[in-house]
Amino acid sequence: MANSSSSVEAIKNELLTANQLQKPGESSSFVIFGASGDLTKRKLIPALYNLACTDLLPRGFKVFGFAVTPMNDDSFRESMREGVRASKEANPYDVRIWDEFAKNLHYITADFQSLDGYKQLKDRLEESEKGSTAGDNRLFYLATPPGFYADIVSRLGSSGLVTKHGTSQTGWTRIIIEKPFGNDLDSAIALNTSIHKVFREEQIYRIDHYLGKETVQNLMAFRFANSIIEPIWNRRYVDHVQITAAETLGVEHRGGYYEGAGVLRDMFQNHLLQLLSIVAMDPPVRYGGTSVRDRKADVMNAIVPINPESLSDIAVRGQYGPGQIEDHHVPGYRQEIGVNPESKTETFAALKLYVDNWRWADVPFYLRSGKRLPSKVSEIVIQFKRVPHMFFHMSPEDQIEPNLIVIRIQPDEGISLRFGAKVPGPEMHIQQVQMNFSYTDAFKAQPSTAYETLLLDAMEGDPTLFNRADAVETAWQVIEPLLDIWKATKPFQPFPNYAAGTWGPSAADTLLAKDGRAWHNLHSVPVAQAQTSISLDESGEPMGSRRSQNDAVSTTGTTTPSGGRSLA
């Protein structure tokens, strides 16, 4: 018994400390293909700078940019400095830290398909590694358009830049690959096949930045390190699950890419299905790459295949038209640069899925994502079943609503619980109140960015938060029937079918209304006013979280005009 108890405590400790960033034990050379692009300047270098600010980069760590844009070491460093200073995610600019960090930034001007560039890269890496006690540890990052992935990997192999088995007596080699990983199932399988000719699966880190977010990682700690949560995380108590990734932005300068992708490829195949797998997975044996990824794969394999005959009951697509975002007029999708004026590409989708296993049978998972929606928010909502018998004398003042756990992924990372409490006074009236946990308030620090976490994990050789080949292919299997159907048929409702600044087409509301449910669209309590204990003022509202008199929480968790009730 003592050994069993110790084992459980060890697993809990692993989960609780899993997202604490650790300094890699070995140094490495970090090679970025596509280093002149937007991703490097906005995300990768700011993340590495943040790690330098907190002394989490190993001594001797070097970055080599590789791209066709003409630059030298000095101009590359200046370009990256501008990126860090402009970044909202980077730590405050410190000239001393930057100068120390920047001296390890280097650049190679070369075409991705030219062998001369790879020879130059090899020469510079070997020169840099001379006399190093860390060995020739190399981490390659593909921050290029997906069409270059196979060519770059092939040339890395033919140029002798990859150790044969991923590790050697003198060092290791790993590669990080950005999404999208393929455009459909066949292309994903073909890409995996070509990469496996050069890299073993253990060397391949398919990155999904959503999995590096603090709240996503803490979802596992919330579930598996708290004995009061896991027993109710199943079909007996949960009515349904909602996963939302909403953006206020349009396609911006990505119109050409988005025309060939759409929201299903851009968000569902990776981000949303990954979140679903973490919400629904069974407890892993331990916190580690194989165990966690095995349990996630079990969920993906248990998703009930999409039935084309019942498509209208499980899927909705939409495309935004002109509208208002934060009092500014914005164009419709078809007016964006690089977009076909008669485009049928979806910018919004909602999907109802089921996970066919003992834990989740008959519990619907509602997924939605879209552009030009009213709020930028990513969250997971767990709605529990209603109480089986209500013995209170109900009046119009009472709000008897299902309990909710809302896990906010971004912005304002945190977790909230909605439950009913008695309003102060001589009579029994029920008011819904919120108990909120904010990571920023609780830990007095901003969470690390997703790329900080994921880059450190790759340096350490921890694949837990990265996608495995089988998971990528299974995700494509889930959505490919829907892609095929939507490609072959015209939209039932002509596009555009929702105005920018709204929560998508009306059919998305109908999708849940047919099941007697509704989307959770707004936080009931601002996170800035979050509390870890509940106090009620004289009106029955939680103190410090008074809503506008024009707002009242509906019976389904959405916000409706004062006095109104959702019919769903």
Positions marked catalytic? 271
- The structure tokens listed for 360 are 């989740």
- The structure tokens listed for 358 are 């003992």
CA distance 208 to 451: 9
Q: Decide: helix, strand or coil at residue 78.
A: helix
Q: Is-cis flag, bond preceding 396, omega within 30?
A: no
CA nearest 203: which of 289, 294, 269? Answer: 289
Quick one: DSSP state of residue 536? B
Name beta bridge partners: 167: 172
Burial 265-292 (b: 16+ CB within 10 A, else e): bbbbbbbbbbbbbbbbbeebeebebeeb
**SS3 letters across 475-507:** HHHHHHHHHHHHHHCCCCCCCCCEECCCCCCHH
Is the separation of the CB atoms in 176 and 39 below 8 Å?
no
CA nearest 137: which of 115, 111, 163? Answer: 163
- Alpha helices (runs of H) in 23-148, residue ranges in sequence order: 38-39, 45-53, 73-86, 95-102, 115-129
- Does the CA dihedral 8-11-15-19 come out positive or negative? positive
